């Protein structure tokens, strides 16, 4: 087990959720702003230190990810990246050459972007396409 309890992002998580400290058995960084927490019951959570949002990670034992699951997770990742870059929907739409309503569909998990669009989103958000699409499934 790593000594994660002194990590700045872990401390931010604990500031918001002090009662959970005893339940966390492991913690590791998965991006500049996110940590993955393994809980004592086997659940995996991701905490975004920039937005202070927590999401659960789908366990591969639950079966393959559906397109709807993918869109929900992608929308969370997209929102977090936009928050990090201080971009609103219109800013992102302008940067990638699509309408604000299309970006809104991605953000709300109502549409699946093409690979071409994911590349444009990544460029506008100054990250790699994998940063937007590779979700932990531990």
CATH classification of the domain holding 97: 1.10.260.40
Identify whether the C-beta of residue 2 lies closer than 8 Å to the C-beta of residue 28: yes
At residue 9, the pLDDT reads 86
* Residue 3 forms part of a structural domain: no
At residue 103, the pLDDT reads 97
In a shared domain, residues 71 and 128: yes
One pLDDT digit (tens) per residue for the chain, 138 residues? 457 888 888 888 888 888 888 889 988 888 777 888 888 887 788 888 888 878 777 655 555 667 887 888 888 889 989 998 999 999 999 999 999 999 999 999 899 999 999 999 999 999 989 888 876 543
At residue 38, the pLDDT reads 86
* Residue 2 forms part of a structural domain: no
At residue 12, the pLDDT reads 86
* Residue 138 forms part of a structural domain: no
* Residue 117 forms part of a structural domain: yes
Identify whether the C-beta of residue 104 lies closer than 8 Å to the C-beta of residue 58: no
* Residue 13 forms part of a structural domain: yes
- Structural domain count of the chain: 2
Q: Which two tokens stand for residue 113?
A: 């972007």
Is residue 30 classed as helix, strand or coil in its secondary structure?
Answer: coil
DSSP string, 66-102: PHHHHHHHHHHHHHHHHHHHT--HHHHHHHHTS-HHH
* Residue 47 forms part of a structural domain: yes
Domain that holds residue 25: 8-57
At residue 114, the pLDDT reads 95
At residue 99, the pLDDT reads 97
In a shared domain, residues 51 and 68: no
């Amino acid at each position: 087990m790593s000594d994660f309890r002194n990590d700045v992002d872990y401390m931010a998580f604990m500031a918001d959720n002090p009662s959970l400290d005893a339940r966390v058995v492991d913690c590791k960084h998965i991006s500049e702003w996110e940590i993955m927490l393994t809980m004592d019951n086997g659940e995996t959570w991701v905490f975004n230190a920039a937005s202070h949002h927590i999401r659960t990670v789908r366990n591969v034992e639950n079966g393959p990810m559906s397109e709807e699951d993918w869109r929900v997770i992608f929308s969370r990742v997209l929102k977090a990246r936009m928050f990090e870059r201080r971009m609103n929907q219109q800013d992102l739409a302008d940067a990638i050459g699509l309408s604000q309503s299309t970006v809104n569909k991605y953000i709300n998990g109502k549409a699946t972007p093409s690979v071409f669009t994911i590349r444009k989103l990544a460029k506008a958000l100054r990250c790699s396409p994998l940063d937007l699409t590779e979700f932990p499934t531990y």
